[in-house]
Amino acid sequence: MSRGTDAGLLDSPKPQSVYKHGLLEQYIIRFATMTASRLTPKRSVLFDGFAGRGRFDSGEPGSAEHMMLAAQKAKARTQIDLLLMEQAQGDYETLDKVADEYRARGIHIDSHHGDCGGHLDEALRLAAGASLFMFLDPCGAVLPMDSLKHVLRKRGTWPATEMLLNFSADLIRRAGGQLKKGQLNLGGVDKADAVCGGKWWRDVALRAHETSGGQVWEPAAETVALEYARRLVADTEYGFVVAPVRRQVHHQPIYYLIFLTKSPHGFWMFGDAAAKAREKWLRFLGPDPDEAATMLWDTVAEQVEREHTKAIAHITDNLRCLTADGQQREVVRHVKEIYGDLYGEAKETAFTAALRALTKEPAEIEYVTRGSKPHQRVIRNVTVTD
């Protein structure tokens, strides 16, 4: 039985859930309102395929309630409808009670007890004429690749469709170890075959494992996750981001969140949402004992400030490189060049600070179009001469 990572008797969120929920809290309302703004009616659908109980015992929202909260906040300007799935009977009953609270406030929520894979077409029907965000966060293996490809192909190019899914690093590490030892009867290898849509991952994992010294499986898990994402979007217009999710700063990832979108705006907004979620995660963890031992900083606030200062300098250099030819650039279409290795760690405020400094007299960069939002700016270097 595939259950959501929010399922079970949980007193309060674990560190990895703080990051994941922080990302959802930041991103889904922006996705829904932006993508629905050009639709009539202005409507978006959020699908949580492994919704769990919806709320922690502590009263803090799980993934499903974060979606409900987004629908409630956007109600005046955007209709956000929800489709929630949970396979465990007890967890579903709790989830449905939470959903009832929001139904009473006028939020449309369809919640079902059953298998997520059997309701993908229902999600597509509900989202006809609306934008669609799909969150697939099982505790263990995600749905088979063919099922996800079916959704991507059937939705077409418009309205907007995006997907955020949990790809289990633990599964690949476990299956890789079984594969190396020839333990093909333990189930892990077959499950990885099903998730990955074939046996291609086996050679990829073994090569990455051996190349890294043959002692650990973390490089193999990351390499397989990246190749999985590449294969998932092959022959589509989607791009992807692979974000590692850890319990602690120096731990190996438990899973990877794979984000799929066709839109440069999606990549921009997701990167900023991930950075804000990461900061929330760092504050939840508290001071890093390894960093404290070196006396680099004493508090999380100091760590965050140091990272922000570093990000401004990094983005400043990237903006100079991006505009070095004197041609105008629409910044939203160059998110990876602007953020570089700090994509998902540096917040949008680091970009705005870097650009503000470069446009001050004596200016290196000028606005061709300023726009009302940072991602709407078009810029060029004014120091370049023919």
State both tokens at 384: 């370049």
Q: With contact defined as beta carbons under 8 Å apart, do 30 and 162 qualify?
A: no
pLDDT of residue 368: 96
pLDDT of residue 140: 66
Q: With contact defined as beta carbons under 8 Å apart, do 136 and 227 qualify?
A: no
Question: What mean pLDDT is reported for the chain?
Answer: 91
pLDDT of residue 263: 95
Nearest of 201, 249, 254 to residue 226 by alpha carbon: 201
Q: What is the mean pLDDT of residues 119-135?
A: 94
Residue 39 has, within 13 A of its CA and on its CB side, a CA count of 23
pLDDT of residue 8: 47
What fold characterizes domain 15-285? Rossmann fold (3.40.50)
Give 142-166 pLDDT, tens digit per residue. Answer: 788 888 998 998 888 889 999 999 9
Q: How far is CA 13 from CA 8, 50, 284, in A?
A: 12, 16, 10
State both tokens at 280: 């929330």
Give 223-250 pLDDT, tens digit per residue. Answer: 999 999 999 999 899 999 999 998 887 7
pLDDT band at 358 (very low <50, low <70, confident <90, very high): very high
How far apart are the C-alpha atoms of 227 and 221, rounded to whole Å?
10
Q: Kindly give, in sequence order, each residue whose CB lies less than 8 Å from that of residue 185, ignoring residues fewer than 6 positions away.
A: none
Give 196-227 pLDDT, tens digit per residue. Answer: 989 999 999 999 999 999 888 999 999 999 99
pLDDT of residue 124: 94
How far apart are the C-alpha atoms of 247 and 244, rounded to whole Å?
10
pLDDT band at 13 (very low <50, low <70, confident <90, very high): confident
Q: Where are the domains of the chain?
A: 15-285, 289-381
Give 91-116 pLDDT, tens digit per residue. Answer: 999 999 999 999 999 999 999 999 89
Q: Which long-range contacts (CB under 8 A, 24 or more apart) does 232-239 make?
A: 232/145, 232/148, 232/149, 232/152, 232/258, 232/260, 233/152, 233/260, 236/149, 236/152, 236/153, 237/157, 237/262, 238/152, 238/262, 239/267
pLDDT band at 298 (very low <50, low <70, confident <90, very high): low
pLDDT band at 288 (very low <50, low <70, confident <90, very high): low
Residue 9 has pLDDT above 50, yes or no: no
Three-state secondary structure call for residue 371: coil
Give a three-class secondary structure readout of 195-245: HHCCCHHHHHHHHHHHHCCCCCCHHHHHHHHHHHHHHHHCCCCCEEEEEEE
Q: What is the pTM of this model?
A: 0.90
Q: Which residue has the higher pLDDT, 103 or 251?
A: 103
Residue 131 has pLDDT above 90, yes or no: yes
How far apart are the C-alpha atoms of 25 and 64, rounded to whole Å?
11
